[in-house]
Amino acid sequence: MLPNTGIGSVILESPYYGHRKPRRQRGPKLQCVSDLLSLGNATIEETISILRYFNAHGHGPLGICGFSMGGVHAIMTAGVCNLPVALVTFLAPQCAAPVFCQGALSASCDWDALSRHSSSINWNEWNCEDEDVKHRLGRILRITDVTRLPPPPCPWATILIQAKEDAYIDRRSEEVIRSSWRDYWKAFPPTYEYLSSEDYGVETRWVCGGHVTSFFNQHHTFRLALRTAMQRMVTEEVADAHYSEC
């Protein structure tokens, strides 16, 4: 993606897509709710394995990026990988629940099938036995809420990119994510003496466009953010500190 800047990239093909798509699955639409959760878990675990491999072989600095759902997985991976990594997300929501239950993708869900199969699920475990299937699905998909996990380990090298006309993602999603990270850092203050703001350097960049148009028209913005985040990982005044703190 950035061959002229000395930044190499590894693109992970998501489970359930491309060559990893199950034989019974037609197109990109997942067959089961559990497939979405398995996809996320596998993506996070595989990304952590890749990061650890490069770290063990002396490559760095390291970074993670992702678009939309991939951005959610990137945030989660950064929070649990226990490695100093830059993080750049492109149009990432806080959680999958609003997108599938109220948002643009709600029309693609087979609600009749979910209603038929809901009788086989022990809803007492989810504390939602009296709710309709949409609310039940929303409860399950709260597992994908990025605020359930720790914030990124290197906030000064974290950039969130959001679109002003995004019809898939609520504009409040970005603020919820950053507010959650602020609360975490208040409870567990990091010792970044060179960063004094409450966000410890986390940056949000807004682009003009929607969810799809931004993907096609904002490549330069995405590349610039990636380059900036990686440069911040090796800036002279923070290079020694962040590797000892993360």
- What's the DSSP call for residue 11? -
pTM here? 0.84
pLDDT tier, 218 (very low <50, low <70, confident <90, very high otherwise): very high
Residue 3 has pLDDT above 80, yes or no: no
Output 236 or 40, whichever has higher pLDDT: 40
pLDDT tier, 239 (very low <50, low <70, confident <90, very high otherwise): very low
Instruction: Decide if 147 contacts 72 (C-beta within 8 A).
Output: no
pLDDT tier, 117 (very low <50, low <70, confident <90, very high otherwise): low
Amino acid at 177: I
Structure tokens at 151: 């914030």
Structure confidence at residue 200 (pLDDT): 81
Instruction: Decide if 174 contacts 157 (C-beta within 8 A).
Output: no
Dist CA 66 CA 71 (whole Å): 4
pLDDT in tens, 10-59: 999 988 888 888 888 777 777 888 888 999 999 999 999 999 999 999 99
Q: Which CATH class is domain 3-21+31-94+146-237?
A: alpha beta
Residue 238 has pLDDT above 50, yes or no: no
Instruction: Decide if 163 contacts 217 (C-beta within 8 A).
Output: no
Structure confidence at residue 168 (pLDDT): 86
pLDDT in tens, 167-186: 888 888 999 999 999 999 88
Instruction: Decide if 171 contacts 158 (C-beta within 8 A).
Output: no
Dist CA 207 CA 163 (whole Å): 5
Tell me if residue 206 falls in helix, strand or coil: strand
Instruction: Decide if 190 contacts 237 (C-beta within 8 A).
Output: no
Numbered ranges of CATH 3.40.50.1820 in the chain: 3-21+31-94+146-237
Instruction: Decide if 79 contacts 222 (C-beta within 8 A).
Output: no
Q: CA of 237: how far to CAs of 143, 195, 240, in Å?
A: 37, 11, 8
Nearest one of 55, 68, 69, 62 to 87, comparing CA atoms: 62
pLDDT in tens, 63-84: 999 999 999 999 999 999 999 9
Nearest one of 185, 187, 183 to 155, comparing CA atoms: 185
Dist CA 95 CA 143 (whole Å): 8
Q: Which of 79-93, 107-121, 156-170, 207-221 is predicted least confidently?
A: 107-121
CA angle 29, 47, 58 (to 5 degrees): 160
